[in-house]
Structure 1
Amino acid sequence: MYSMIPFGRMSNSFNDLFDEFERSMFPASQRQLPAFRTDIQDKGDHYLLEADLPGFNKGDIDLHLQDGVLTITAKHQETSEKKEEGKYLCRERRCGSYQRSFDVSGIQEENITAAYDNGVLKLILPKQGEVIPQSRKIAIE
């Protein structure tokens, strides 16, 4: 019969020592998942930001805009419901959060739109129009 432990995850292995060390050094509240990946494209009159956030529900994602900085936060929360717990042979899924910030100076902040579909967050960031320098004649008194 085959073991249910994933390949390369044998108990009392060298990797378990590093996992235990990480858990002892950083409390669960301070551990974060690695930053999520994004693509930003220049589409002429706007930028398109696409962020990979697989496994999140739309309600788990927060977009916050303050002082020209857009912050994207996504959190996995463990539910407080107590279900009949079975004996885990391997448990790799954890709760945690992602957070990244982007400078959005030069963007029409009031016209930013967002959509989330199939694990990809898409933001349309409209550019501000070019500032045309004004000239005027100054009269000498």
Structure 2
Amino acid sequence: MFDLIPFEHRNNDLFRYFDDMERAFFGGNTDIAPCKTDILDEGNRFVLKADLPGFKKEDIHLDIEGDRLTISAEHSEENKTEDQKNNFIRRERRYGSMSRSFDISSIDADHIEAKFENGVLELDLPKKQETVPANHRIEIQ
């Protein structure tokens, strides 16, 4: 199960304090936060569920590079000329991209299945079958 722990920065990182100070000074976050995920162990497979609200299926990309699975998604900004016509008083919805990576060294990457429904990405991650050598006795000569 430890193979599916995401690659991410720890909360007590010194640079996080500088990032938080910058966000406070400039008035908020400029990017989209990584997706929240649940990972279930169902015996012969893992099921990963990631919340990606507001994204379309076409905006989401799943890439495997070596033993790393990366989930990435990008919101594209709407036409700026239309935004100027709407006379926004406050605009809190953000546009940008996010990505999150997972170690899949114990996963059969050729048989991963994905579906996206109601803002939730669900990945079926089958575990690799362990090859156990057959038991036999060796005769001494």
TM-score by length of 2: 0.72
The aligned amino acid for 1:21 is: F
- 1:113 corresponds in structure 2 to 113
What are the residue-to-residue correspondences of 1:62-141 with 2, within 5 Å?
Answer: 62-80=61-79, 82-83=81-82, 85-133=85-133, 137=138
User: Greater shift after overlay, 31-40 or 105-114?
Assistant: 31-40
SS in 1 for 2:128: coil
Cα distance in structure 1, aligned partners of 2:126 and 2:23: 44
Deviation of 1:22 after TM superposition, in Å, equals 2.7
Retained in 1: the 8 A contact 2:69–2:101? yes
Structure with more helix by fraction: 2
Please name the residue that 1:49 is paired with: 48
Give 1:20 deviation, angstroms. Answer: 7.7
SS at match of 2:121: strand
The total of aligned residue pairs comes to: 118
State the identity as a percent: 40
Tell me the SS of whatever aligns to 1:82.
Answer: helix
Relative distance call for 1:138 and 1:128 in structure 2 (3 A) is farther
Q: Where does residue 60 of structure 2 map in the other structure?
A: 61
Asked if the contact 2:32–2:94 (Cα under 8 Å) also holds between the matched residues in 1, the reply is no
* Distance in 1, Cα, partners of 2:105 & 2:72: 19
- Shift in Å, 1:70: 0.1
**Which residue type is aligned with residue 118 of structure 1?**
N
TM-score (norm 1): 0.72
Structure 2 CA distance for partners of 1:138 and 1:33, relative to 1, 3 Å? farther
**2:6 matched residue in structure 1:** none
Q: Which has the greater radius of gyration? A: 1
Q: What displacement does 1:82 show?
A: 3.1
Where do 4+ consecutive residues of structure 1 move more than 6 Å? none
Match of 1:21 among 3, 25, 29: 25
Aligned mates of 2:53, 2:120 — CA distance in 1? 7
Query: Which residue of structure 2 aligns with residue 32 of structure 1?
Result: 31
Gaps of 5+ in 1: 1-17
Correspondence for 1:9 = none
Whose RCO is larger (CA < 8 A, sep 6+)?
Answer: 2
The Cα shift of 1:79 comes to 3.2
Q: CA RMSD in A?
A: 2.6
For residues 19 and 90 of structure 1, do their structure 2 counterparts lie closer, same or farther at Cα, with a shift above 3 Å needed? Answer: farther
